[in-house]
Structure 1
């Protein structure tokens, strides 16, 4: 499946902590750039970034990582929900049930 967009948001619920997490990504020629991350709590490797700000129930921050060539979203079936991918005011759920991973990358 292809989605024509310049940015998208991923949101999911952590399998152990049952806490919501979201990331906003920008699509660039050099890859996928994580421009903001947010979490509704902390624990089990879900600590907010050092510069996180608390607003409307979310800790948000701007991670400092290089653009990624791809994102691989596992589908273990052990999480309360799949990955919610939203772009251009449309959302879809990936990996709700156990199965092959979904891969997100920039189209040439």
Structure 2
């Protein structure tokens, strides 16, 4: 798969996958993540943890946003904005990689 665009122009068909250097545990509905490449720890709140747990390398960003709509009763626009914002942050710190769908 080819890398997908990051930032405001993020392609919602991009498929996020956890980076190889990311080790995590979920505690009290929050994810604690270690980037083994740089030794930094990150903590995600409940909503961000839900998004993180959906990044399985098979679902698109659009799919993840749609699942959030049902789980948290938020608008599609709000869900998409949350997913894009979190993915941008996680890609920047090398915890997630975004790939284009195989048919793109």
| TM-score, length of structure 2 as denominator length | 0.28
Higher relative CO (Cα under 8 Å, sequence separation at least 6) belongs to: 2
Give the greater-gyration-radius structure (CA): 1
Bigger helix fraction: 2
Bigger strand fraction: 1
